[in-house]
Structure 1
Amino acid sequence: MPFGLVALVLAATVLPHDRRGPAAGESLDVPGAILSAVGLACLLLAVNRSSAWGVSDPRVLGLAAAAVAVLGAFVIVERRAARPLVDLDLVADRNRALAYATAFLMALPQAASLVLVVLYQQTVLGAPSIEAGVAATVAAAALVVTSPVAGVLARFLTPRSVSSAGCGLAAVGYLLLGLSMTGTGAGPLFHLGLVLVGAGNGIFMAPNTASIVRGLPVDRRGIANGIRSLMFNSAQTLGAAAALLLAAAGLSGAGIGGYDGVAADPAGALWGFHVAAAVLVGCALAATVTSLRRSGAWLVTPTPAAPATSPAPRGEDL
């Protein structure tokens, strides 16, 4: 909450104001906003409470059914709205639709991996919360450090190439994390996996976002990026909740019913972490495939230099 309030104040005081004013006939899509909020809330709550209530609990099933119905109604309303909250025409372009799908698939395991890392260290390895939190920052640090690398690579490789490389790198990182979860400690393989996860996401983000807004008019780029942000945040929440659900299934059979203690049988809890890690690898591999399926070149074609023009002759040279 405090960070959100600070962000609101900074946005109001630092960001430039739009002096153009609203366009003629422009208004908020109230039905779309309500349906999207209710549908996403039902979906996220269903996934989040599955570990506590059980997947077959009537409340979970009811929330999931409500999410499907409400989000289906949202799509119908948006197709008919004159000024929709989410412009579905933006995904009519094949490359942009694949870029959106790739962003969603890459966001699913990003937060989930951090949840698994912290939970694994505390419940299986018995590490204190501070140590587990510090380990989780390795991926974040790698993301920050490698993000500028995407700009350097963009001089030679197209966004399709750079994004695909980031997806593949993250997939290798998730695989190493899963293989390193043996219950014997956090060794070099564990930390290398965290570095590759952060590096892959850092290299992926900027070029994929550039692919989404490329070719759009200025007044539609914000909408396109807003859809990407909505998908990114929703996918992160879904991924984290799903990872908790899988890990909790292993922990409950290993003598721990919560997330604040050490499992009585750490080895018995590992299967839940391994299944969750396999899902993360699958998401990253699926993202790699969708990224590669985009059409276009792999390398940046150098722009030929304009021919040099000879200077105009001076009067005394005529």
Structure 2
Amino acid sequence: MTSTQPRTTPYRTGPAFAALLIAVLAFSLMQTMVVPALPDLQRTFDAGTTASSWVLSAFLLTASVATALLGRVGDMFGKRRVLLASLTVFATGTLLAALSTSIGMLIAARAVQGVGSAAFPLAFGIVRERFPRERVPVAIGLISSTFGIGFGVGLVIPGPIVDALGWEWIFWSGLIVIVLGIVAVAAFIEESPSRSPGSVDWVGVALLSAGVVALLIPISQGRSWGWGSPGVVGLFAAGAALLAAFVAVERRLAAPLIDIGLLCRPAVATSHVAALIIGFGMYGAFTLVPLLAQTPPAAGYGFGASVTESGLFMVPMAATMLIASPLAGRVGAAVGFRTPLVLACLVGVAGFAVYAGAHESEWALYAGSAVLGVGVGLAFAALANLVVGAVDPRQTGEATGINTIARTIGGSLGAQLSASIVASDTAPGAGLPAESGYTTAFVMSAIALGVAALAALAGPGRRERRAEDGERAGA
């Protein structure tokens, strides 16, 4: 494996790491802060359910494309430069969202915001290149956990903000964090020393973008269109065809957008498969737990919690993620990252088992969230470190970008299917989802994480990874 270029001057990793955390936190918060405000946005703009769902979908679509594209561009032209550009576009989209006067303008602004997703692969690459080797696993673990923490906290804090100041302040407060991130990155991050030469493969960009969009649109709209509708089936087929064409084109290029051979390495391939399944299994909790808590007790379950109160059930998850992620970095550095990844999946199974078997009491939801947070923290940290450790430093951006896309697609599909399962079974006379729907959805997530554990076990262990690295070095 190629090593990074030596540094000639001391690098202040503390301020640099804080800058990266602010940047990735800003993006992860903006993913979900809008979710609790959707009812207010519908009333404000007199929008229907389908239109308001695009406030989430537009962000997701552009984020998925930008993650892979800008991760690769950062490898080519410098990660600091591309990170600053990404955050600047992100800030512009957030400003436009705060000033929106129509649902169409807000959807467009959310699409612009999605460009901020590049913060994750670029941050991983900067840590890989600029930090002391012994600190890389823990740093990557903490950055990975920030994704989930911001996701969960973003469901908690908007309630008080909207009640006190209005929905616009979701974006004004987010803009403050983004600007802080821009200033911190500009002040404390040095430009990356390595480059992956080449030109931007615009044909690959078009095919990958169209393929990902064709997959994510039916995933996000499957409930409203119908999973068996011609639109959903046709888009899934088109997405598969476009991605197959993307692979065929990339194999023929000397400087592709994504190195297909890189994706075929056992450590990378199994990490991407595991990320897809883990995303599918875990993301259902982020949406279903608050909904369950808000259900009035008249339905025979639920606690009649407000938006703010229901978000508090996610706080234990954020707390345990902060503990688990650096732990995964230390354990993985000692014994290899396959072990914490398998453990993460098994802990996740236990968390969903608590949700499924004891969600009639508040303490069970809190306990399930705490257990699941350990699994999420271990998983995010282990996945990122597995990918980063398996590739050349010049390919970190593109490899981690694809891993993020896999987790996003899996999470989107899992969240939509979980919501569909809950909505498909209505309690007699109450007009509310039956309790059995939540149980089924939680069991489905537990099964998915069990499958993810098997996928993780199929990946190379530490000895196999060393042999693979030796073969690459000798090639």
TM-score range, shorter chain: 0.7 to 0.9
Q: Which residue identity does 1:16 align to in structure 2?
A: E
Q: Is the 8 A contact 1:48 1:242 kept in 2?
A: no
2:284 to 112, 115, 119: 112
The alpha-carbon distance between structure 1 residues 35 and 12, as it changes in their structure 2 partners (threshold 3 A), is farther
Q: Residue 149 in 1 paired to residue 327 in 2?
A: yes
Q: Residue 264 in 1 paired to residue 264 in 2?
A: no
The alpha-carbon distance between structure 1 residues 82 and 45, as it changes in their structure 2 partners (threshold 3 A), is same
Tell me the alpha carbon deviations over residues 191-238 of structure 1, each in whole angstroms, 9 at most, x when there is no partner: 221111110121232233222222532212222222212222222222
The alpha-carbon distance between structure 1 residues 216 and 70, as it changes in their structure 2 partners (threshold 3 A), is closer
Tell me the alpha carbon deviations over residues 98-132 of structure 1, each in whole angstroms, 9 at most, x when there is no partner: 12211222122222211110111123523211111
> Using the alignment, how far apart are the partners of 1:65 and 1:294 within structure 2?
29
Once the 2 structures are TM-superposed, how far is the Cα of residue 20 of structure 1 from its aligned partner? 6.5
Q: Which residue identity does 1:165 align to in structure 2?
A: L
1:284 to 416, 441, 449: 449
1:235 to 406, 410, 417: 410
Q: Which residue identity does 1:46 align to in structure 2?
A: P
Q: Residue 161 in 1 paired to residue 336 in 2?
A: no
> Using the alignment, how far apart are the partners of 1:31 and 1:120 within structure 2?
45
Q: Is the 8 A contact 1:51 1:248 kept in 2?
A: no
Larger radius of gyration: 1
Query: Which protein has the bigger helix share?
Result: 2
Q: TM-score, normalised by structure 1?
A: 0.79
Corresponding residue for 1:98?
270
Instruction: Let me know the Cα RMSD of the aligned residues.
Output: 2.6
Q: Residue 16 in 1 paired to residue 181 in 2?
A: no
Q: Which residue identity does 2:325 align to in structure 1?
A: S
Once the 2 structures are TM-superposed, how far is the Cα of residue 157 of structure 1 from its aligned partner? 2.9
Q: Is the 8 A contact 2:289 2:365 kept in 1?
A: no
The alpha-carbon distance between structure 1 residues 219 and 7, as it changes in their structure 2 partners (threshold 3 A), is farther
> Using the alignment, how far apart are the partners of 2:419 and 2:285 within structure 1?
10
1:210 to 380, 385, 393: 385
Once the 2 structures are TM-superposed, how far is the Cα of residue 177 of structure 1 from its aligned partner? 1.0
Q: Which residue identity does 1:72 align to in structure 2?
A: A
> Using the alignment, how far apart are the partners of 1:97 and 1:242 within structure 2?
25
Corresponding residue for 1:301?
none
> Using the alignment, how far apart are the partners of 2:194 and 2:371 within structure 1?
44
Corresponding residue for 2:37?
none
Once the 2 structures are TM-superposed, how far is the Cα of residue 281 of structure 1 from its aligned partner? 0.8
The alpha-carbon distance between structure 1 residues 194 and 22, as it changes in their structure 2 partners (threshold 3 A), is closer
Corresponding residue for 1:45?
217
Tell me the alpha carbon deviations over residues 23-63 of structure 1, each in whole angstroms, 9 at most, x when there is no partner: 3xx11111221222222222212122121222233322232
Once the 2 structures are TM-superposed, how far is the Cα of residue 248 of structure 1 from its aligned partner? 1.9
Once the 2 structures are TM-superposed, how far is the Cα of residue 19 of structure 1 from its aligned partner? 6.6
Q: Is the 8 A contact 2:332 2:338 kept in 1?
A: no
Once the 2 structures are TM-superposed, how far is the Cα of residue 239 of structure 1 from its aligned partner? 2.1
Tell me the alpha carbon deviations over residues 45-82 of structure 1, each in whole angstroms, 9 at most, x when there is no partner: 21221212222333222322222222222222222232
Once the 2 structures are TM-superposed, how far is the Cα of residue 12 of structure 1 from its aligned partner? 6.2
The alpha-carbon distance between structure 1 residues 20 and 220, as it changes in their structure 2 partners (threshold 3 A), is closer
Tell me the alpha carbon deviations over residues 237-284 of structure 1, each in whole angstroms, 9 at most, x when there is no partner: 22222222222222xx337xxxxxxx9165x61222222112211221
User: Is there any run of 5+ residues in structure 1 with no aligned partner, and where?
Assistant: 256-262, 299-318
The count of aligned residue pairs is: 283
Identical-pair percentage: 26
